Amino acid sequence: MNKWRTGLLCLLILLVAVIPGGCWDEHEINTLSIVSGVGIDPGESPGEFDVIVQIHKVTKANEAEPEQPFLLLDATGKNVLEALNEINLRNNRNLFLHENQVIIISQDQAALGIRSLLDMFLRYHETRLEVWVIISECPAKDILQIKLVQEPVTASALALMIQDQTKISPQMGANMLRVTSALLDASKALVVPMIGITDEFGSSKIIIDGSAVIVSDKMVGRLTRDETLGFAIGSGPIKSGVLEVTAENGSAVLYISDSSASMKTSWADDHMQADISVDATLSVAEITGFEGDSLNDVFNKLESGAVNHMVELISNTFEKSCAFNADIFGIGSSYNRTHPKSWNAIKADWRSIYPKTVLNVSVRGRLVESGKISDALTMKGEE
Amino acid sequence: MFRLLYRKLHVACAKQQNKEPSPEERRLKKDLDKNIDAIKQTLGDSADIKLHDFCFGTDNKLGALLYVDGLVDSEYLTNAIMRPLMETCAKTPTACEVRSAILCAGDVTETSSLDALIEGCLSGDTALMLDGEPHALIISTKGWEKRSVTEPQSEAVVRGSREGFTENFRTNTSMLRRRVKSPQLRMDHMIIGRKTLTNVCVAYINGVAPSDVINEVKRRLEALDIDSVLDTGYLEQYIEDAPWSIFPTVAYTEKPDVAAGRILEGRIAIIADGTPFVLTVPKLFIESFQTSEDYYMRTLQASATRLLRFIAYAIAAFAPALYIALTTFHQELIPTTLLITIAASREGTPFPAFIEALIMVLAYEILREAGVRLPRPVGSAISIVGALIMGDAAVSAGIVGAPMVITIAITAVAGFVVPDQTESAAFMRLISMLAAALLGGYGIAFVFLGMLIHLASLKSFGVPYFTAVTYSRDQQDTFVRMPLWMMHERPGDIAEGDITRRRTGMPPPTGDMGGQSK
């Protein structure tokens, strides 16, 4: 009897452990459509979206690579999931969103708002928070149609491009996690990489060209490449990057080997005062000119030139952000952290306060390395 | 009525016929002819049984030698027994005088039992019977053909002893005795098997091996009432603790240094005649991952190799299951590029991943079995066919995907890294594959947990199978092998009494060599 009881108990435990396991979603790998990128364009009718998915075209191992390595499927719907379901109805394989690497939103759609588009991607268990969010100046469909040479699947290529940018500075890319946290912070504006299409040697290429500025889920403007660099330097940190410096008697290209930034904020009478301090370590990449100058003179000129240039970049970016009324540096958030009570008093009027903010930028630049050679060919050697 | 009487008479006659002779009847008689008749009655007319009668001494005393042709050393028999007897000048020597003054043999015993005489002869001894003596002399003349000591086939090593046990019982015990010269080494002898009368020896170090384990081993062996023991595998199946478990609870080895090492740890070795495989008990799970070379190599290499064995066992048991779970349930865990590669290989294959894996695993097991059983020249042909069919043709034909072939190949190779657990790994592979096909990663976790629970519940001769993991002292020799000079004591729960293994607690001092080097 005891034996039976034990056996029954074991069976019960086994059933309880197995049945609520929730692992019954079995899908053979060759029954899936592996989505590598999703594009969202505005639909023809207001309130509708055109959702495009780029799917890896999987061929048999022994067969030659197909000319078009991906497949584009699109559908229109009032929300993203409706469109995806519509695609699923026209596709014999299930859409597999786990491996999706980018969400491309066209500029026109971004101007209308992105919050409702991203809700599904945040909620659905198949999508990841590491997915890059990108704004395109042309329709997302056009971007996803381009076949690149080295990485034929556009979405994968784009993911690699953005990843490379984030190696310069984490501010140069925006994944779902960053976008979500920025959307939750009402005072802060979001800076998202912007891409476009360029023609090179008769074929279309994708180019990362500046950034889009998004305030309260709507795109309000665009930063140029220099302004994006100013934003990255002012927000910090920078792990690598290039700075073009023009000084008296010559010019140079400097590597930013390391740069960090800090911000202090305070309320001064009727306006916000923000102080950004940047500490950068630089090295010489290329020198042009400086005929007859000694190495020390050149270093001094370049150091001051770099400092001035960085101050100028940050200030220009700040001015542009004021024009957009977009707090891209997070001045409001910084003030909130240090003066939470005062912030509550001005929080409601922040949009009117921000453009009047006075920004002081102080940069400390140290030129520490001259590369493999010290003097340029036109410079005066050490005596 | 007559019928009943007839039946009773019949039963009584049958009883009379089957009646076992009393010990008195089985005693040797003074009359040599009667003894010879009794022997012939017992042994029949077997051609290899030699009964040689002769006269010796000045009074031509009658004597007879009984031996089995092929089991005795004929030259030794002539020189140690026949020649001294023929050349003796004694009148009518008694058995006692023959033993003490005439024979040139070292191992001579006197017996009055006919059964002991026959048993001795069948074991390779020679029996000398004298007319008028109710005793016989059993002279050790063993000298049959035997295989020489060679390198063991199943336990090859790079570093360490090349000697392996042989089929010869005495050679095996001598090899063990040669390695452990301690007077505390005990070799308790017993004979098991009604028909085979196999010599079995229980070897241990008195004062190191726990007495309760020794008694338990002896109790289990002595309780055996079986007709034959052709290999220690017979004994293993009768004495093991968990016969239905996929994990072995009795260890075996073909190497004397391994057996000696285990005896020194407090284990008990069981040696049987006719087999080069020596059993050692109790067995721990961790023992399968320890090899003799671990202790001959330097600490770091030994530890790295041991960790590698654990990884290899995990691969052997769970790799195909993991592949099934990843490709059918958890595709999101596979990096994109790899996912595309796997998807490309699975494109167009007719079977689900589980069936594919099952086909490959079965095909591999069939090939392995065929490779082991076939004669060596044909074995290579099987390898070629196997490699062609499994490695190339199956993939080219689109029946299975290349990643599956790679997975099975690495599983097969990893299975041989821990030879002791090859069978258990094969079973675990099938069970985990089935669980993965039903429940994915959850199923694998489920099976793994079940395996751990089962392993933790196993015992070998009263010692928990997972002992080395629970006792901190033994963890010095579990996942890593600490330097020998740090392992002061014998393993916990296995040894008892003299547990100190080493007293040198650090590398020996180098001494001041400065003066000498000058």
CB A359 within 8 A of CB A315: yes
Best residue in B323, B340, B342 for a mutation probing chain A (most A CBs within 10 Å): B340
CA A4 to chain centre: 63
> Shortest CA distance to B66 belongs to which of B52, B48, B82?
B52
H-run or E-run covering B128: strand B126-130
Identify whether A74 is part of a domain: yes
Q: What percent of chain B has pLDDT over 70?
A: 91
> Shortest CA distance to B221 belongs to which of B119, B229, B494, B184?
B229
Q: Of the given ranges (B81-90, B120-129, B145-154, B308-317), which has the lowest mean pLDDT?
A: B81-90
Rounded to an integer, the average pLDDT of B492-510 is 76
Distance CA B155, CA B138 (A): 39
Cβ <8 Å between A30 and B328: no
Tokens for B313, please give them.
Answer: 């066992």
Exposed e or buried b per residue across B118-139, where buried means at least 16 C-beta atoms within 10 angstroms of its C-beta: bebbebbbbbbbbbebebbbbb
pLDDT tens digits for range B305-340: 999 999 999 999 999 999 999 999 999 899 988 998
Identify whether A277 is part of a domain: yes
Assess whether A155 and A264 both reside in one domain.
no
Helix, strand or coil for residue B395?
helix
Confidence of residue A79 (pLDDT cuts 50, 70, 90): confident
Residue A113 pLDDT greater than 70, yes or no: yes
Q: Of the given ranges (A71-75, B130-134, B228-232), which has the lowest mean pLDDT?
A: B130-134
Residue that the structure tokens 């520490």 belong to? A368
Radius of gyration of chain A from its Cα atoms, rounded to whole angstroms: 26
Assess whether A167 and A234 both reside in one domain.
no
Identify whether A8 is part of a domain: no
CB B277 within 8 A of CB B254: yes
Assess whether A187 and A332 both reside in one domain.
no
Q: Of the given ranges (A169-173, A368-372, A379-383, B131-135), which has the lowest mean pLDDT?
A: A379-383
So what's the pLDDT on residue B474?
65
So what's the pLDDT on residue B508?
62
What is each CA distance from A47 to A42, A43, A79, A86, in whole angstroms? 8, 7, 9, 17
So what's the pLDDT on residue B10?
66
Distance CA B224, CA B228 (A): 10
So what's the pLDDT on residue A299?
86
What is each CA distance from A319 to A128, A132, A356, B329, B488, in whole angstroms? 35, 27, 10, 52, 75
Identify whether A10 is part of a domain: no
CB A207 within 8 A of CB A195: yes
Question: Does residue A59 belong to the interface with chain B, where contact is any CB pair within 8 Å?
Answer: yes
Last residue of a domain, one of A169, A197, A223: A223
For the four alpha carbons of B219, B221, B226 and B227, in that order, the dihedral sign comes to: negative
Total number of domains in chain A: 2
CB A219 within 8 A of CB A135: yes
Cβ <8 Å between A34 and B336: yes
Rounded to an integer, the average pLDDT of B163-170 is 92
Question: Does residue B499 belong to the interface with chain A, where contact is any CB pair within 8 Å?
Answer: no
Q: Of the given ranges (A59-63, A379-383, B169-173, B229-233), which has the lowest mean pLDDT?
A: A379-383
Residue A377 pLDDT greater than 70, yes or no: no
| Average confidence score pLDDT of chain A | 87
Q: What percent of chain A has pLDDT over 70?
A: 94
Assess whether A111 and A252 both reside in one domain.
no
Contact list, B353 vs chain A (CB under 8 Å):
28-29
> CA-nearest residue of chain A to B346?
A30
Cβ <8 Å between B347 and A58: yes
Identify whether A20 is part of a domain: no
Question: Which three-class secondary structure string do you get for chain A?
Answer: CHHHHHHHHHHHHHHHHHHHHCCCCCCCHHHEEEEEEEEEEECCCCCCEEEEEEEECCCCCCCCCCCCCEEEEEEEECCHHHHHHHHHHCCCCEEECCCCCEEEEEHHHHHHCCHHHHHHHHHCCCCCCCCEEEEECCCHHHHHHCCCCCCCCHHHHHHHHHHHHHHHCHHHCCEHHHHHHHHHCCCECEEEEEEEEEEECCEEEEEEEEEEEEECCEEEEEECHHHHHHHHHHHCCECCCEEEEEECCEEEEEEEEEEEEEEEEEEECCEEEEEEEEEEEEEEEEEEECCCCCHHHHHHHHHHHHHHHHHHHHHHHHHHHHHHCCECCCHHHHHHHHCHHHHHHHHHHHHHHHHHCEEEEEEEEEEEECCCCCCCCCCCCCC
> Shortest CA distance to A73 belongs to which of A57, A87, A93, A56?
A87
Tokens for A77, please give them.
Answer: 């719907």
**DSSP H helices in B88-148:** 95-97, 114-122
Q: In chain B, what's the furthest Cα-to-Cα distance?
A: 114
Which DSSP state fits B254?
S
So what's the pLDDT on residue B17?
55
Residue B157 pLDDT greater than 90, yes or no: no
So what's the pLDDT on residue B6?
65
Cα dihedral value B222, B228, B232, B233, nearest 10: -110
Rounded to an integer, the average pLDDT of A334-356 is 90
Residue A35 pLDDT greater than 50, yes or no: yes
pLDDT tens digits for range B16-56: 555 566 767 778 888 888 888 888 888 888 888 888 888 88
Q: Of the given ranges (A255-264, A283-292, A328-337, A366-375), which has the lowest mean pLDDT?
A: A366-375
User: Could you say which of A29, A96, A99 has the minimum Cβ distance to residue B346?
Assistant: A29
Cβ <8 Å between B439 and A21: yes
Q: What's the gap in Å between the CA of B452 and the closest CA on chain A?
A: 16
Which range has the top average pLDDT, A55-69, A304-318, B41-55, B377-391? A304-318
> Shortest CA distance to B51 belongs to which of B451, B38, A92?
B38
Residue, of B470 and A283, whose pLDDT is higher: A283
So what's the pLDDT on residue A272?
92
CB A371 within 8 A of CB A285: yes
pLDDT tens digits for range A189-213: 999 999 999 888 778 889 999 999 9
Rounded to an integer, the average pLDDT of B98-107 is 81
Distance CA A74, CA A51 (A): 5
Tokens for B88, please give them.
Answer: 């003796």
Question: Does residue A130 belong to the interface with chain B, where contact is any CB pair within 8 Å?
Answer: no
So what's the pLDDT on residue B14?
57
Residue, of B250 and A25, whose pLDDT is higher: B250
pLDDT tens digits for range B242-253: 999 999 999 999
Residue A368 pLDDT greater than 50, yes or no: yes
Residue, of B14 and B110, whose pLDDT is higher: B110
Cβ <8 Å between A30 and B343: yes
Residue B480 pLDDT greater than 90, yes or no: no
Rounded to an integer, the average pLDDT of A123-136 is 90
CB A60 within 8 A of CB A70: no
| Average confidence score pLDDT of chain B | 86
Tokens for A271, please give them.
Answer: 């306006």
Last residue of a domain, one of A199, A223, A247: A223
Best residue in B336, B337, B392, B446 for a mutation probing chain A (most A CBs within 10 Å): B336
Structural domain including A241 reads 225-383
Phi, psi of B13 (to 5 degrees): -65, -45
CB B134 within 8 A of CB B80: no
Strands A94-96 and A271-289: unpaired
Residue that the structure tokens 């990663």 belong to? B441
CB neighbourhood size of B369 (10 A) = 11
Identify whether A351 is part of a domain: yes
Confidence of residue A18 (pLDDT cuts 50, 70, 90): low
CB B66 within 8 A of CB B122: no
Residue, of A48 and A378, whose pLDDT is higher: A48
Identify whether A45 is part of a domain: yes
CB B344 within 8 A of CB A58: yes
Rounded to an integer, the average pLDDT of A101-114 is 92
Contact list, A59 vs chain B (CB under 8 Å):
344, 347
> CA-nearest residue of chain A to B349?
A30
Rounded to an integer, the average pLDDT of A292-300 is 82
Assess whether A232 and A153 both reside in one domain.
no
What is each CA distance from A256 to A46, A126, A287, in whole angstroms? 46, 39, 15
Rounded to an integer, the average pLDDT of B159-177 is 91
* HSE toward the beta carbon, residue B31, CA cutoff 13 A: 4
Residue, of A375 and B198, whose pLDDT is higher: B198
User: Could you say which of A28, A58, A99 has the minimum Cβ distance to residue B336?
Assistant: A99
Assess whether A230 and A219 both reside in one domain.
no
> Shortest CA distance to B213 belongs to which of B280, B270, B272, B268?
B268
Residue, of B268 and A3, whose pLDDT is higher: B268
So what's the pLDDT on residue B107?
85
Cβ <8 Å between B328 and A28: yes
Q: Which of residues 13-32 of A touch B (CB under 8 A)?
A: 17-18, 21-30, 32
Distance CA A379, CA B1 (A): 141
Q: Of the given ranges (A13-22, B247-256, B396-405, B436-445), which has the lowest mean pLDDT?
A: A13-22
Question: Does residue B84 belong to the interface with chain A, where contact is any CB pair within 8 Å?
Answer: no
Q: What is the ipTM of this complex?
A: 0.80
Q: Residue A303: what residue type?
A: E
Question: Does residue B207 belong to the interface with chain A, where contact is any CB pair within 8 Å?
Answer: no
User: Could you say which of A18, A29, A59 has the minimum Cβ distance to residue B327?
Assistant: A29
Last residue of a domain, one of A206, A223, A240: A223
pLDDT tens digits for range A250-269: 888 999 989 999 999 998 88
Cβ <8 Å between A34 and B343: yes
Assess whether A210 and A296 both reside in one domain.
no
> Shortest CA distance to B81 belongs to which of B143, B38, B7?
B143
> CA-nearest residue of chain B to A63?
B344
Confidence of residue B99 (pLDDT cuts 50, 70, 90): confident
Cβ <8 Å between B328 and A98: no
Best residue in A6, A28, A97 for a mutation probing chain B (most B CBs within 10 Å): A28
Q: Residue A109: what residue type?
A: Q
So what's the pLDDT on residue A370?
77
| CATH number of the domain encompassing residue A241 | 3.30.300.210
